[in-house]
Amino acid sequence: MPVVTIVDHLAPLLEKPEGAVVDLWGVVHNGIAAFPEALDALTRFKAKGGRVVMLSNAPRPSSLVYLQLDRLGVPRNLYDAVVTSGDAARTALEAQGLGAVLHIGPERDRPLFDGLQMDLVETAEAADLIVCTGLFDDDTETAETYRDQLEACQARGLTLVCANPDRIVMRGDKVIPCAGAVAKLYEALGGRVDWHGKPYPSVYDRSLAILGTLPADTIAIGDGIETDIPGANAQGIPAILVTGGVHADLWNDPPDGARLGQVLDSHGIHVTAAIDRFRW
């Protein structure tokens, strides 16, 4: 089993890369407030000439995530662009064209459909396609809440477009289920899922094009062992795992090195280093 290097500061690892692909939830903010140490790290990385893409599995257009970052206190001069899974899903929906869509997700995600020639319908029987952006009420519901609806969709052979592959996210100190949990259940029921966002290639292709860097000259920083790290590994981008994020309960906080190594090995992923928080 490979040994995981756990560090206290990222400065030595961030001196060489020309570009960074940085996760948002659990790394830069917790959905309620930005992390001061992360803002300091971004400030220092930009000061040395680095370029930054914020890569998020937010199931909304990136234009809305810019506004969210403004509200959370993340200055726009600390990053060059935002790329979201919502952008990727929207591109796929645009290519598909007309259709009747059953949207599973909250009202706040409806901007994903703005300008698309698609009709939003309320039932599986009326739908040509499912688009899942999350749960209607992620404070009280789980993926199982949707089992009956998903079974009806699967019986009709509908494809589910997942606009956020994350299964869970941290909102403050609370674990919140995401669209990925619903999509995983649909797959388990025998349904077809089209995934958009991390760890899938299109969002990395877009991020690297914006950065103008090669994978070897880029660093990926994230807390997701099902999204951020495997996505970076697949693209040949060196990765740093922030262990104090969504999976902290798997290896403790601060992390137990042996347990961390076991978890990464069991997932078939590897990292350049791990750190408890995104810190310069």
Residues 138 and 165 in one domain: yes
User: 247 lies in which domain range?
Assistant: 11-57+199-275
What distance in Å separates the CA atoms of residue 93 and residue 87, rounded to the nearest whole number?
10
pLDDT (mean) for 103-118: 95
Residues 185 and 234 in one domain: no
Report if residue 23 sits inside a domain. Answer: yes
Residues 124 and 188 in one domain: yes
Residues 173 and 247 in one domain: no
Residue 97 pLDDT: 82
Last residue in a domain, options 146, 178, 195: 195
pLDDT (mean) for 125-141: 96
Residues 175 and 210 in one domain: no
What is the 3-class SS of the chain, one letter each residue? CCCCCECCCCHHHHCCCCEEEECCECCCECCCCECHHHHHHHHHHHHCCCEEEEEECCCCCHHHHHHHHHHHCCCHHHCCEEEEHHHHHHHHHHHHCCEEEEEECCHHHHHHHCCCCEEEECCCCCCCEEEECCCCCCCCCCHHHHHHHHHHHHHCCCEEEECCCCCEEEECCEEEECHHHHHHHHHHCCCEEEECCCCCHHHHHHHHHHHCCCHHHEEEEECCCCCHHHHHHHHCCCEEEECCCCCHHHCCCCCCHHHHHHHHHHCCCCCCEEECCCCC
Residues 182 and 214 in one domain: no
Residues 140 and 226 in one domain: no
Report if residue 65 sits inside a domain. Answer: no
Q: Are strands 81-84 and 99-104 parallel, antiparallel or unpaired?
A: unpaired
126's tokens: 């009326």
Residues 172 and 239 in one domain: no
Give the CA distances from residue 224 to residues 35, 71, 178, 232, in Å, rounded to whole numbers and listed in that order: 17, 24, 13, 11
Give the lowest-confidence range in 143-152, 170-179, 212-221, 266-275. 170-179
Per residue in 195-247, pLDDT (tens digit) is 999 999 999 999 999 999 999 999 999 999 999 999 999 999 999 999 998 88
Report if residue 128 sits inside a domain. Answer: yes
pLDDT-derived band at 172 (thresholds 50, 70, 90) equals confident
Report if residue 105 sits inside a domain. Answer: yes
Residues 29 and 120 in one domain: no
CATH number at residue 16: 3.40.50.1000
> What type of residue sits at position 177?
P
Last residue in a domain, options 180, 195, 210: 195
Residue 248 pLDDT: 82
Report if residue 77 sits inside a domain. Answer: no
Report if residue 135 sits inside a domain. Answer: yes
How many other C-beta atoms lie within 10 A of the C-beta of residue 160?
Answer: 24
Residues 111 and 190 in one domain: yes
What distance in Å separates the CA atoms of residue 267 and residue 223, rounded to the nearest whole number?
14
Q: Are 172 and 32 in contact (CB under 8 A)?
A: yes
Give the lowest-confidence range in 159-168, 219-228, 248-257. 248-257
Report if residue 160 sits inside a domain. Answer: yes
224's tokens: 């997701």
Give the lowest-confidence range in 30-34, 80-84, 208-212, 256-260. 256-260
Residues 181 and 109 in one domain: yes
Among candidate residues 160, 152, 95, the one with its CA nearest the CA of residue 132: 160
Residues 159 and 233 in one domain: no
Q: How many domains does the chain have?
A: 2
Report if residue 33 sits inside a domain. Answer: yes
Residue 1 pLDDT: 61
Residue 250 pLDDT: 87
User: What is the pTM (predicted TM-score) of this model?
Assistant: 0.92
pLDDT (mean) for 172-200: 95
Last residue in a domain, options 137, 168, 195: 195
Question: Quick check: 23 pLDDT over 90?
Answer: yes
